[in-house]
């Protein structure tokens, strides 16, 4: 059985019973040796990731529909949900994740270096402004001194 078929049946079963134990439902509807029972947890988690249902117990076995899930059941079920393009894509964990993490850490280092450089420029600009303002103040004092000396 395909994952989409199983999720559609599971979503409808949750809708009819309000709260449903996923493993009990799978054991009663399908054989325990089949593909469905082996993938029960990962397929049920798919509904959680798509925010169609939530777990109501600490063991993550009993599911209940969210308002979003009820909306899609009324609209036509999980198949319509998929056709409308609302489904989130599955994230596959592979060797590229390590490469992406290395690239992200390298980018973070570059950003930190750029921030340090910009902070350095700010400090240099601050001190340059202080020096130029002080020189202007001193020149204005000298100008006052010359004016006062010329009047006497």
CA torsion 31-34-39-43 (nearest 10°) is: -60
Task: Tell me: pLDDT of 28 over 80.
Answer: yes
This prediction has a pTM of 0.54
Query: Crossing angle, helix 40-49 and helix 22-29, to 10 degrees?
Result: 130
Q: Chain centroid to CA 35: how far? A: 31
Q: In the prediction, which pLDDT does 128 show?
A: 97
Q: In the prediction, which pLDDT does 33 show?
A: 64
At 146, list the tokens. Answer: 């010359």
Helices (H), 76-94: 78-83
**Better-scored residue on pLDDT, 116 or 59:** 116
Percent of the chain with pLDDT over 90: 28
pLDDT, the chain, mean: 84
Tens-place pLDDT, residues 79-138: 888 887 766 555 555 556 667 777 788 888 999 999 999 999 999 999 999 999 999 999
Q: Check if the beta carbon of residue 11 is closer than 8 Å to that of residue 78.
A: yes
Task: Tell me: pLDDT of 58 over 60.
Answer: yes
What is the end-to-end Cα distance of the chain in Å, rounded? 108
**Better-scored residue on pLDDT, 140 or 24:** 140
- Helix, strand, coil fractions of the chain, as percent rounded to 5: 70, 5, 20
Strands lying side by side in the sheet with 53-55: 19-21, 62-65, 53-55
Q: How far apart are CA 87 and CA 145, in angstroms?
A: 80
């Amino acid at each position: 059985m395909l994952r989409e078929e199983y999720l559609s049946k599971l979503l409808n079963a949750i809708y009819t019973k309000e709260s449903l134990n996923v493993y009990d439902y799978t054991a009663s509807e399908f054989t325990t040796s089949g593909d469905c029972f082996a993938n029960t947890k990962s397929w049920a988690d798919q509904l959680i990731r798509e925010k169609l249902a939530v777990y109501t117990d600490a063991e993550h076995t009993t599911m209940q529909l969210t308002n979003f899930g009820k909306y899609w059941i009324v609209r036509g079920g999980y198949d319509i949900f998929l056709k409308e393009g609302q489904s989130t894509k599955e994230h596959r964990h592979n060797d590229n994740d390590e490469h992406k993490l290395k690239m992200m850490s390298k980018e973070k280092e570059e950003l930190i270096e750029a921030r340090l450089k910009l902070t350095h420029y700010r400090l240099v600009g601050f001190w340059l402004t202080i020096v130029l303002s002080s020189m202007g103040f001193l020149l204005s004092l000298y100008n006052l001194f010359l004016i006062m000396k010329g009047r006497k």
